[in-house]
Amino acid sequence: MYYATLDYDGSRIIERARIKGFATRQEAEHYLKTGYPARDGWQQDTIEIGVGSFGEAWHKSLSAPKLDGDRLSCGYLDFEPFTADQLNIAEQPSTHLGGPAWWITPNEAVLVVLTVRR
């Protein structure tokens, strides 16, 4: 499985990014390229795709995540397309102004558009 997001700010995958799963890398790359259409002035031949990194976390929660079958649930947060074993949860909740916080990030590679020119 390959994962990709268009929610990349040039240095990190943004918090709560929408991440999609694909059967092939080709499908994931096609999805990423559709976010930068030539009709909007993007130079398709300059698109560089690679693995993105997260800042502090993909999702942060003030309540403890719970296992629901092979999925993780935590209030309104959406962890699709990942199963619980594909997610890294901070083992010790961090101190946060509202109390303990859990930081949750995929441990799978997530593809992004690293660079593209107009």
Tell me the pTM. 0.89
Looking at residue 63, its pLDDT comes to: 83
Mean pLDDT of 44-56: 95
Residue 95: C-alpha distances to residues 20, 87, 98, 114 (Å): 30, 20, 8, 32
The per-residue pLDDT for range 61-87, each reduced to its tens digit, is 888 899 989 999 888 888 999 999 999
Q: What is the mean pLDDT of the chain?
A: 91
Average pLDDT on 4-12 reads: 96
Number of domains in the chain: 1
Higher confidence at residue 63 or residue 23?
Answer: 23
- Contact residues for 95 (Cβ-Cβ < 8 A; gap 6+): 101
Instruction: Please report the pLDDT score of residue 100 as a whole number.
Output: 77
Asked whether residue 46 carries a pLDDT value surpassing 70, the answer given is yes
pLDDT at 27: 98
The boundaries of the domain holding residue 86 are 2-117
